[in-house]
Amino acid sequence: MPAEPAKPKRNGAKPCPVCGKPATAESHPFCSERCRDVDLNRWLSGAYAIPGRPADDEED
Protein backbone atom coordinates (compact mmCIF):
# COMPACT_ATOMS: atom_id res chain seq x y z
CA MET A 1 0.00 0.00 0.00
CA PRO A 2 1.59 3.34 -1.04
CA ALA A 3 2.14 6.02 1.56
CA GLU A 4 -0.03 9.11 1.53
CA PRO A 5 1.65 12.02 -0.24
CA ALA A 6 2.60 14.89 2.01
CA LYS A 7 0.40 17.94 1.75
CA PRO A 8 2.18 20.61 -0.27
CA LYS A 9 3.05 23.76 1.60
CA ARG A 10 1.61 26.94 0.21
CA ASN A 11 4.44 28.95 -1.25
CA GLY A 12 2.39 32.13 -1.10
CA ALA A 13 1.46 31.79 2.59
CA LYS A 14 1.08 35.25 4.05
CA PRO A 15 2.39 36.22 7.47
CA CYS A 16 0.20 37.50 10.30
CA PRO A 17 -1.10 40.95 9.26
CA VAL A 18 -0.57 42.32 12.79
CA CYS A 19 2.94 41.20 13.75
CA GLY A 20 4.40 39.44 10.69
CA LYS A 21 4.95 36.03 12.33
CA PRO A 22 3.87 32.89 10.44
CA ALA A 23 0.11 32.33 10.59
CA THR A 24 -1.33 29.26 12.32
CA ALA A 25 -4.21 27.10 11.14
CA GLU A 26 -6.10 27.66 14.41
CA SER A 27 -6.06 31.46 14.11
CA HIS A 28 -5.74 31.88 10.34
CA PRO A 29 -4.80 34.43 8.98
CA PHE A 30 -3.29 35.46 12.32
CA CYS A 31 -0.52 33.83 14.37
CA SER A 32 -2.42 33.84 17.67
CA GLU A 33 -5.68 34.75 19.36
CA ARG A 34 -3.95 37.87 20.70
CA CYS A 35 -3.24 39.18 17.20
CA ARG A 36 -6.80 38.28 16.19
CA ASP A 37 -8.10 40.39 19.11
CA VAL A 38 -5.74 43.27 18.26
CA ASP A 39 -7.11 43.30 14.70
CA LEU A 40 -10.72 43.22 15.94
CA ASN A 41 -10.01 46.15 18.27
CA ARG A 42 -8.55 48.12 15.37
CA TRP A 43 -11.71 47.55 13.32
CA LEU A 44 -14.01 48.45 16.21
CA SER A 45 -12.07 51.60 17.14
CA GLY A 46 -12.08 52.90 13.56
CA ALA A 47 -8.34 52.56 12.93
CA TYR A 48 -9.09 50.76 9.65
CA ALA A 49 -11.58 53.34 8.40
CA ILE A 50 -11.49 53.87 4.66
CA PRO A 51 -11.19 57.57 3.85
CA GLY A 52 -13.76 59.00 1.51
CA ARG A 53 -14.72 62.33 0.16
CA PRO A 54 -16.25 64.77 2.66
CA ALA A 55 -20.02 64.68 2.90
CA ASP A 56 -21.76 67.81 1.62
CA ASP A 57 -24.09 69.25 4.23
CA GLU A 58 -26.05 71.29 1.67
CA GLU A 59 -27.07 68.63 -0.87
CA ASP A 60 -30.79 69.46 -0.60
> Each residue of 5-40: pLDDT tens digit?
544 455 567 899 999 999 999 999 999 999 999 999
Predicted local confidence at residue 34, as pLDDT: 97
Would you list which residues are annotated within the binding site for Zn(2+)?
16, 19, 31, 35
Q: How confident is the model at residue 52 (pLDDT cuts 50, 70, 90)?
A: confident
DSSP of the chain, one letter per residue?
Answer: -PPPPPPPPPTTPPBPTTT-SBP-STTTTSSSHHHHHHHHHHHHHTTTPPP-PPPPTT--
Would you list which residues are annotated within the binding site?
16, 19, 31, 35
Single pTM value for the model:
0.61
Residue 59, pLDDT > 70, answer no
